[in-house]
Amino acid sequence: MAKSKYEYVKSFELADHLLPHTWIVVRIDGRSFHRFSKDHQFKRPNDEQALRLMNECAKAVMEDISDIVFAYGVSDEYSFVFRKTSSLYERRSSKLMSILASLFASTYVMKWSQFFPDKKLQYAPCFDGRAVCYPTEAILLDYLAWRQVDCHINNQYNTCLWMLVEAGKSSEDAQKILKGTQADYKNELLYTQFGINYSTLPEIFRKGSSLFRRKEEEIVKFKDGLPIKRIRSKVVVEHCDIISQQFWEEHAYIIS
């Protein structure tokens, strides 16, 4: 039973290293989460607890993998940005994407009861992953802007849809009313029919969630009654505008 006789099968494993010196983005996406949301009675159009659970998982991923410098989440998807010069797992695409999809999903189960203490998790959630390289900062920021624009468009649409449904329309009728309408029309509809000022809705719904590290001064112990402080880098969650340049100018250290 010679080991070597079969070892040749390893040669079928082809290399999949990602281009060096580019921004690797791994995006994970809930598999069949439309059904998952229904099966777990997530609130419509947004379930804040479900979103906070997603954020908590993303935070755990970032705390585990220090090469991730930024993450952005909306709905059942999350994008993780690796620093440009990362050589984690030799930049092997399969390793990076599978580990993130795997760690995110198992953390989701681990933390479920913290966010849904009264709801049983009925089956194992699953996320797919993909890895994409962006060659410049400008294009990376366009990628993130793309996701935040998507967040905005989907949230505005879904908010209108569910208000109409709650007001008694069938789902089909509500969709017909909204079909092809512009942002202004939807804002107007929310305001005049339902008294909702869209811009005052919670930012977590309208802006999605951005995770990044912030240096914070922290008391680590007391010595002779005096606090000993240390600068610590902490992953924070914010719901801010990442489309405008302002955020990136104020947090230039994130992608520099």
| CB of 127 closer than 8 Å to CB of 28 | yes
243 near its own copies, judged by CB under 8 A = yes
- Backbone angles phi and psi of 221, in degrees to 5: -165, 175
Residues near its own copies (CB under 8 A), total: 64
Binding of residue 7 to its own copies (CB under 8 A): yes
Give the nearer residue to its own copies in terms of CB position, either 66 or 136: 136
Cβ–Cβ < 8 Å for 255, 136: no
Q: Is 185 in the site for its own copies (CB under 8 A)?
A: no
Nearest to 58 by CA among 95, 92, 108, 93: 108
Q: Beta-strand (E) ranges in 17-76?
A: 23-30, 68-74
Spatial distance between the Cα atoms of 30 and 58, rounded to a whole number of angstroms: 13
Alpha carbon distance 130, 99 (integer Å): 11
Q: Does 134 bind its own copies (CB under 8 A)?
A: yes
- Smallest distance from its own copies to CB 69, Å: 17
75 binds its own copies (CB under 8 A): no
**CA dist list (Å): 123 to 90, 103, 161:** 34, 17, 28
The residue among 146 and 191 lying less far from its own copies, judged by its C-beta, is 146
- Site residues for its own copies, 104-123, by CB under 8 A, read 104-110, 121, 123
**205 near its own copies, rule: CB under 8 A:** no
> Which one among 50, 69, 101, 242 touches its own copies, defined by CB under 8 A?
101
- Residue given tokens 């598999």 in the structure block: 31
Longest Cα pair distance anywhere in the chain, in angstroms?
78
Strand partners of residue 232: 216
Closer residue to its own copies in complex, CB, 42/143: 143
The residue type at 82: F
| Residues 14-33: x where in contact with its own copies by CB under 8 A, - otherwise, as a string | xxxx-xxxx-----x--x--
Q: How far is the CB of 7 from its own copies (least distance, A)?
A: 7
Going across the sheet that includes 209-223, the strands are 127-134, 23-30, 77-82, 68-74, 209-223, 226-238
Q: Is 124 near its own copies (CB under 8 A)? A: yes
Within 206-225, which residues bind its own copies (CB under 8 A)?
A: none
Smallest distance, its own copies to C-beta of residue 191, A: 19
| Residue 199 contacts its own copies per CB under 8 A | no
Q: Report the C-alpha gap between 134 and 46 in whole angstroms.
A: 30
When the beta carbons of 89 and 162 are compared against its own copies, the nearer one is: 89
Which of 125, 151, 161, 174 binds its own copies (CB under 8 A)? It is: 125
Q: Report whether the peptide linkage leading into residue 125 is cis, meaning its omega lies within 30 degrees of zero.
A: no
Contact residues for its own copies (CB under 8 A)? 1, 3, 5-17, 19-22, 28, 31, 60, 93-95, 97-99, 101-110, 121, 123-136, 139, 142-143, 145-146, 149-150, 152-153, 183, 243
